Every structure is written in structure tokens, then in C-alpha cells.
């Protein structure tokens, strides 16, 4: 698949997702977004210019300003070297070795950031539950299924889906639930009657 074809597929998928979500009154956007992101290969820092499929570019160099990451610093040094000649250009062997290390460190930092966000949300939810008039055990939230695994469904709830939790299948006692082959739905296998499903 060429970069142009990949960009066209991504654009068409985006339009289809938007139309589907609009038909459902806005429900399903989070879940579909997660499915799309999960299907994409994670970006990696590399010393070879491989372009950008989403932007349909044969040449692409990603960096931020102000500098936030070490790869940004490498790009800035290379640009300064090319423009002014005062700064020595980063050696190609160094850039090749730095790519995988920087990619791994970015993944680790992302995990720490998500964990910290989860802890902060737990404290906020606890405060909200104890502040509610219903009390922590009687509080009721409207939720939306945003993901499924064999063990249960992930549900986003609260204002704008600020919180997320796992509803385990062991708590869904009215049926026997199995994850489908595509890992997109839990299918209820009732002893009598048609199958039901909890889908993303």
C-alpha cells in the first residue's frame, strides 16, 4: 500500500466512523477511536526517513518547539548544522542507536503519565462519591462501554466520561459471556433465547 492509499483509507475510515457515531447519537466514538488506535502500528524514532502515511508525505521529520524530547534536540542540532554550519551534525551511527532507546523511553514515560492520571482520577472520584447526596454506595452513573476483554467490559462514566472502570463478567450474572474472535464484543450465551452482546 502506498502512502497515498493509506491516507485515503484512513480518511474513508474516519468518515465512516463519524457517520456511525452520528447515527447513534454520539455513542460509540470513544470505543471506535480506541479500536482504530489499537489497530495502528506505534510510531518509532528512526534514522531513515520513511515519510508519513497519515499526511501522505514521502519526507517527514517530527519535532516539537519548544524542545520537549531528546529526539527534538537531535533534529534541532541537525537543522542548525544544515542552516548555519556552526553546530556539528549528529553522527548517523549515534542517531541510529538513539532511535530505539528514545522510542522505549517515550513508551515508559507514557505509561507513568497514564498511571499518574489514573491515581488522580481515583481521588477525584472518591471525593465526588462522598460529596454526593446519595452516598458512595448508592451513587448511580450513566456509562458507555468503551472496550471489552474476556474478563469484562470497560465502562466510561461521569461527566464527559472522565472516569473509567472494569465491569467484570463475574458481576454480569444473568448470562455466560464469551469474547468474540475479533475481541470487539462479549456475546451472551443464554440457555434459551437469542444471543445478546456487549460491544465496543
**Which candidate, 65, 66, 95, 93, places its Cα nearest to that of 78?**
95
What confidence tens digit (pLDDT) does each residue in 4-61 have?
Answer: 777 788 778 878 888 887 787 777 777 777 777 777 777 788 888 887 776 777 888 8
Q: Which residue has the higher pLDDT, 2 or 182?
A: 182
Paired residues of 93 in beta bridges? none
Q: What's the confidence (pLDDT) of residue 192?
A: 36
Q: Rounded to an integer, what distance in angstroms lies between the CA atom of residue 118 and that of residue 123?
A: 9
Task: Using the predicted structure, report yes or no on whether residue 2 has a pLDDT greater than 80.
Answer: no
User: Rounded to two decimals, what is the model's pTM?
Assistant: 0.66
Q: What's the confidence (pLDDT) of residue 105?
A: 92
Q: Rounded to an integer, what distance in angstroms lies between the CA atom of residue 169 and that of residue 158?
A: 21
Per-residue pLDDT, averaged over 139-160, amounts to: 86
HSE value, Cβ hemisphere, 13 Å, CA-based, for 108: 6
Cα dihedral sign for 82, 86, 87, 93?
A: positive
Q: Rounded to an integer, what distance in angstroms lies between the CA atom of residue 11 and that of residue 23?
A: 19
Q: What's the confidence (pLDDT) of residue 161?
A: 83
Q: Phi and psi for 91 in degrees, rounded to 5?
A: -70, 140
pLDDT band at 191 (very low <50, low <70, confident <90, very high): very low
Instruction: Return the axis-axis angle of helices 70-83 and 92-131, rounded to nearest 10°.
Output: 140
Per-residue pLDDT, averaged over 53-77, amounts to: 81
Contact 126, 133 (CB under 8 A): no
What confidence tens digit (pLDDT) does each residue in 98-112 have?
Answer: 999 999 998 999 999
Amino acid at each position: 500500500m502506498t502512502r497515498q492509499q493509506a491516507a485515503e483509507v484512513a480518511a474513508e475510515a474516519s468518515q465512516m466512523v463519524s457517520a456511525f457515531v452520528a447515527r447513534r447519537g454520539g455513542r460509540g466514538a470513544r470505543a471506535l477511536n480506541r479500536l482504530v488506535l489499537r489497530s495502528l502500528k506505534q510510531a518509532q524514532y528512526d534514522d531513515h526517513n520513511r515519510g508519513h502515511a497519515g499526511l501522505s508525505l514521502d519526507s517527514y521529520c517530527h519535532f516539537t518547539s519548544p524542545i520537549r524530547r531528546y529526539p527534538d534536540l537531535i533534529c534541532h542540532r541537525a537543522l542548525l548544522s544544515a542552516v548555519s554550519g556552526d553546530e556539528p551534525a549528529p553522527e548517523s551511527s549515534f542517531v541510529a542507536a538513539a532511535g530505539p532507546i528514545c522510542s522505549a523511553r517515550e513508551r515508559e514515560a507514557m505509561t507513568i503519565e497514564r498511571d499518574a492520571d489514573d491515581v488522580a482520577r481515583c481521588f477525584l472520584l472518591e471525593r465526588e462519591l462522598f460529596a454526593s447526596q446519595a452516598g458512595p454506595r448508592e451513587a448511580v452513573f450513566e456509562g458507555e462501554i468503551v472496550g471489552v476483554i474476556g474478563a469484562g467490559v470497560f465502562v466510561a462514566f461521569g461527566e464527559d466520561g472522565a472516569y473509567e472502570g472494569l465491569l467484570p463478567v463475574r458481576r454480569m450474572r444473568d448470562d455466560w459471556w464469551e469474547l468474540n474472535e475479533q475481541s470487539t464484543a462479549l456475546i451472551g450465551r443464554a440457555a434459551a433465547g437469542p444471543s445478546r452482546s456487549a460491544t465496543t
